Homo-oligomer: A and B are copies of this chain.
Amino acid sequence: MQFELTREFITELKEAIDSSDEIRILDLIGELHPADIAEILNDLPSQQAKRLLQYVDAEKASEAVADLDEEDQRQILEEYSPTEIAETFIENLDSDDAVDLLQELPEEKKEEVIGLLDDLQQAGDIVDLLNYEEGTAGAIMAKELVSIDSNLSVKDALVELRKQADEVEQIYTVYVIDNNQRLLGRLSLKKLLVSKTNAKIENLYVHGIKSVKATDNQEEVAHIMKKYDLVALPVVDDLGRLVGRITIDDAVDVLSEEAEKDYQMASGLSEDIESTDSVWMITRARLPWLILGLLGGILGARVIAIYESELHVYPEMAFFIPLVAAMAGNVGVQSSAIVVKGLANNTLGLGGLGQQLFKEFTVALINAAVCSVMLFIYNTVYSSSNELSYTVSLALLAVIVFAALFGTLVPMVLDKYKVDPALATGPFITTVNDITGLLIYFAIGRMMYGM
């Protein structure tokens, strides 16, 4: 049932496209799902992609293109004229996907495409949706939904439903509204099916259902859908009028993007990149963090340079520089990751900043004690310098505790000031902790050696 894209398949398809071998192409892409076609498009240069799409019916083609990521959408749309975009893609899409696609066009071309739409209702929906800011619930909701007036009977509701059902690809829930379009509740198709035909909707529907405002934050909306296991969520305006619905597939995408963003931050990648992206894009995502690390390293070098004359006499102090720096980095990343995850899942902060810091302090103290003792045992066996043994273990203890508290504090403070706390993970926390670790290590060393 499942489709696995192979290198052989792509090669064969490319050859068929280049030789315009229609029979071969149709045979290869035959019954494929739009999501599979999107995967293939993703791997073709945009001119070849356009030639392939000629062999796909408009509905599938539009869904496949809607499934691509923004960068790929932009590239492929450049190959099409406004008329083609309107007729092949936009008119076959639900309003939310249509809007996403339009957002990838230059302003002028976008307006031209909208002007070319035959279906005025759709054009109106699209213009409505374009008003919502990126990142809000309004920006991912669709206008296609099924709603019935609470005053209808089951029989009339079914007639109304049959009319509306044409427009909507998949009905998850029937929304019940009053005569001012205000959302009252919902009714499942199942309930409609099992109720008497003369029953009144107002006596059947579920009151007080969850809804979000069009201006609410996308990530919060996705977390609500996840928490309450919702398949669709109605969106209302400031007056409580039903203006759209968000479906779970869009929420899943929002959740994935959020998780990936945090993962990339923790790994020192500043943009959403994939292994298939160009060398230039990958470099651009990585270099900023590396330069940050470089500057940190230079600062570290200046710290050590202060102790140059001491290192002449006690070069063994250099042995444990990487250990101290690495431990500081690791502990800091662990601490900040726990905070970032806690903030994302809303499990943090019940106990407040103080309690979290105290817990982190306890954990750090235990970890630090275990590591310090292990290192001390190693050094008493293998090292000839008592001063070194004391310095290293004491420094490690201090560094771990400091790194843990710092790693906890920074993302919490960032979050408080509405900066993405994930910024504080990965290379940033590592670099800062590296330098602080060195300062602590050499300060303790100077005391121990009486330097």
Given the complex of chains A and B, what is the CA–CA distance between A140 and B304 in angstroms? 55
Number of interface residues of A (CB under 8 A): 122
Q: CB-defined interface of A259-273 with B at 8 Å, one 1/0 digit per residue?
A: 110111011110001
- Are A256 and B226 within 8 A (Cβ)? yes
- Are A282 and B322 within 8 A (Cβ)? no
Q: When A and B form their complex, which 8 residue pairs have the shortest distance between CB atoms, in order from nearest?
A: A297-B323, A267-B337, A311-B315, A275-B342, A259-B259, A318-B318, A229-B249, A301-B319
Given the complex of chains A and B, what is the CA–CA distance between A384 and B293 in angstroms? 23
Assembly of this chain: how many copies?
2
Give every chain B residue within 8 A of A416 (Cβ-Cβ): none
Cβ of A1 within 8 Å of any chain B Cβ, yes or no, is yes
- Are B275 and A347 within 8 A (Cβ)? yes
Q: Give residues of chain A (344-373) contacting chain B, Cβ–Cβ below 8 Å.
A: 345, 347-348, 350-352, 356, 359, 362-363, 366-367, 370-371
| Interface-central residue, A226, A302, A400, by most chain B CB under 10 Å | A226
- Are B293 and A337 within 8 A (Cβ)? no
- Are A268 and B333 within 8 A (Cβ)? yes
Cβ of A29 within 8 Å of any chain B Cβ, yes or no, is no
Cross-chain pairs A/B with CB under 8 angstroms, 6 sampled: A263-B337, A276-B347, A286-B367, A305-B316, A322-B322, A322-B434
- Are B189 and A333 within 8 A (Cβ)? no
Beta-carbon nearest neighbor of A437 in chain B = B322
Give every chain B residue within 8 A of A226 (Cβ-Cβ): 249, 252, 256
- Are A320 and B337 within 8 A (Cβ)? no
- Are A301 and B322 within 8 A (Cβ)? yes
Give every chain B residue within 8 A of A1 (Cβ-Cβ): 208, 210-212
Q: Give residues of chain A (308-339) contacting chain B, Cβ–Cβ below 8 Å.
A: 308, 311-312, 315-327, 329-331, 333-334, 336-339
